Amino acid sequence: MIILGLDPGLGTTGWGVIVADGNRLSHIANGQIKTDSKMALASRLLKLDLELTDLLLEHKPDGAAVEEVYVNSNPQSTLKLGQARGVVLLGASRTGIEVGEYSARTVKKSVVGVGNADKDQVQAMLKILLPGVKLAGADAADALAVAITHAHHRKR
């Protein structure tokens, strides 16, 4: 099963593609979709949608997983994150694939074993679970962790 993991953000959306074959996981690709903060919001959301569509066409995943929104102390930031997340959910759903949603705590617990793990611990575990992986950045690492979480949870 090919799984696309997504860590949505308006400025940077991380993505990671893995293959889950039983208990074996292998890395396909990872990266980041970046938008320019000087662009209008609608243009940024369109860019995110277009690049996500390209990823979906290129990798043809069987399933996708998206990290849930965390509530930020800045309502405007939370709203923008929610809008980016909506574009990501819609884009993945448009293809007809199963889309899972996971909290950051669930992702950390699935990958590291504890829900309060820090980013360094998650990235260290990714290198163990996906030998030879070269991470395209923190957001891409988070997206791979979301994909791994989906691989673990889809069996249940």
Q: Describe the strand order of the beta sheet including 63-67 as a list of residue ranges.
A: 24-34, 12-21, 2-7, 63-67, 98-102
Beta bridge partners of 26: 19
Length reported for the chain: 156
Is 67 annotated as contributing to ligand binding?
A: yes
The closest alpha carbon to 139, from 1, 19, 3, 5, belongs to 5
- How far is Cα 30 from Cα 101, in angstroms, rounded to an integer? 19
Is 51 annotated as contributing to ligand binding?
A: no
- How far is Cα 135 from Cα 115, in angstroms, rounded to an integer? 21
Is 139 annotated as contributing to ligand binding?
A: yes
Beta bridge partners of 19: 2, 26
List, by residue number, the catalytic residues.
Answer: 7, 67, 139
Binding-site residues: 7, 67, 139
Binding-site residues for Mg(2+): 7, 67, 139
